[in-house]
Amino acid sequence: MEKLFALVDCNNFYVSCERLFRPELRNRPVVVLSNNDGCIIARSNEAKALGIDMAAPYFKSKELIRRHQVRVFSSNYALYGNLSHRVMTILQEMEGKVEIYSIDEAFIALPVDSHFDITAYAAQVRERIFQCVGISVSIGIGTTKTLAKIANRIAKKEAAHHGVFIFPSGNHGDKLLTQIEVGDVWGIGRRSTEKLHRHGIITALHLKKADQKWIRRQLTVTGARTVMELNDISCIALDQAVGNRKSVLSSRSFKKPVQSLDELKEAVATYAALASAKLRGQNLVAGALQVFIATNSFATQLTPYANSQMLTLSAPTAHTPTLITLALKGLAIIYREGRGYQKAGVMLTDLCHKECRQQNLFTAPNQDSATLMAALDNINDRWGRNTLHYAAEGISKPWAMRQDFKSPAYTSKWQELPLVHCR
């Protein structure tokens, strides 16, 4: 049976997550900041209307934010990830074929049937997600994934469509394509946009009508697929398979430069523990670990310093104590005294599924480690991250990244659940 593609996209997702438990923030300007409260990474429509730029450094926008009483939040990825999972779970309950494209986007496949009211069904999906999670979504529908992306953009920007838009098939959508900049077409990056502009290809319609052979020479097969998709020829299939990860990274910038080796050890141990928990969540084990540290590259007092150390495990593992010990061993090799370090991190590589690991002939496997790690993960999943953690990770963590405006963990910590008072 022929299929249509639908892109379900959460509206102003990070802002919507923050507003979900703070209804007094509706219709008020809200922004969300990146790690260390550095740059603005999400804006409500009201904040956009004030002229607050995306990716603008927070310190440059402070005066504008203060003047208009904009509500500011530090990024709270635990909250955003949890609410994203709830949205995607509802989609998977309603549809058999779902491709989770990002934290706030997913493609679904819909049947083409004269007896099936696609608009009404899309409205039903929107209502179900809003009722169960409280997050508003926009849905764009098209004969290809590229057209579904464009349709979603229209559904989101034009209120008259009530959050759902079906892109017209054939030449009926050409007028709409004239209003789309070629750089806004899915799959067309900045360099490709500059190249297309030099040859007079300014809009999505220009790209649709461009010569296929010329596009293939200039933009390779990826660009040629985009042109075919604009011409209603589906070339990008729904991808439900989760790709095999090549590495797991845990890294943060510090609130302020760190000179103390003890504090650096706490940070590296924390990142090793976070990375190992991610591994176990995907039933993976790592055969190698890389630890790295770096000073501020813009500092003028001392020559910038950055270094890393790769270490190999005797047998692949996701055992947190083993990975912490190895990471601290690597840190001891690359640490230099008298420097203020701005960033550190741990990357686990040489990954494989835990059932396919190659054991070491001369090292007996620790039979109790899997049981211990499962108990640790279950407790932290139930009672909140870091309910149990290793002493090497520290307690006060003065080096932790700046999060001066962080909202509570409304959905993942019992102590921070919203309280309802009845009178």
**CATH number belonging to the domain at 247-393, selected among 3.90.1150.10, 3.30.499.10, 3.30.1490.100, 3.30.360.10:** 3.30.1490.100
> Which residues lie across from 312 on neighbouring strands?
288
CATH level 3 topology of 1-166: Alpha-Beta Plaits (3.30.70)
User: At how many degrees (to 10) do helices 369-383 and 261-281 cross?
Assistant: 90
Q: How far apart are CA 184 and CA 171, in angstroms?
A: 20
Amino acid at the residue 282: Q
Q: How far apart are CA 107 and CA 6, in angstroms?
A: 6
- Contacts of 135 by beta carbon, 8 Å cutoff, 6+ apart: 10, 11, 13, 16, 17, 20, 83, 87, 129
Whether 168-241 and 1-166 are alike in CATH topology: the answer is no
Catalogue the E-assigned strands of 147-272: 164-166, 247-258
Residue with tokens 């493609």: 107
Q: In the prediction, which pLDDT does 1 show?
A: 46
Backbone angles phi, psi at 3, to 5 degrees: -125, 155
DSSP letter assigned to residue 389: -
Q: Give the strand pairing for 105-111 and 3-10.
A: antiparallel
Q: How far apart are CA 274 and CA 282, in angstroms?
A: 13
DSSP count for the chain of H helices, then E strands: 13, 12
SS3 180: coil
Q: In the prediction, which pLDDT does 361 show?
A: 62
Confirm if 153 and 140 have CB atoms less than 8 A apart: yes
pLDDT tens, position by position, for the chain (423 residues)? Answer: 467 999 999 999 999 999 999 989 999 999 999 988 889 999 999 999 999 999 999 999 999 999 999 999 999 988 999 999 999 999 999 988 899 999 999 999 987 776 788 999 999 999 999 999 999 999 999 999 999 999 999 999 998 999 999 999 888 899 999 999 999 999 899 999 999 999 999 999 999 999 989 999 999 999 999 999 999 999 988 875 555 678 899 998 888 889 899 999 999 999 999 999 999 998 999 999 999 999 987 766 678 899 999 999 988 999 999 999 999 999 999 999 988 899 999 999 999 888 876 666 666 666 668 889 999 999 988 887 788 999 999 988 888 878 888 888 888 777 788 888 887
- Contacts of 114 by beta carbon, 8 Å cutoff, 6+ apart: none
SS3 166: strand
The structure's pTM equals 0.79
Average pLDDT, the chain: 90
Q: Which tens digit of pLDDT belongs to each residue from 13-26? A: 999 999 999 989 99
Please, is 187 exposed, middle or buried when counting C-beta atoms within 10 Å of its C-beta (0-12, 13-18, 19+)?
middle
CATH level 3 topology of 168-241: DNA polymerase; domain 1 (1.10.150)
Residue with tokens 């939040």: 73
- Contacts of 277 by beta carbon, 8 Å cutoff, 6+ apart: 320, 377, 380
> Which residues lie across from 64 on neighbouring strands?
none
Cβ-count burial 381-408 (b if 16+ within 10 Å, e if not): eeebeeeebeebbbeeeebbbbbebebe
Residue with tokens 């813009």: 298
Q: How far apart are CA 91 and CA 344, in angstroms?
A: 37
Tell me the domain boundaries of the chain.
1-166, 168-241, 247-393
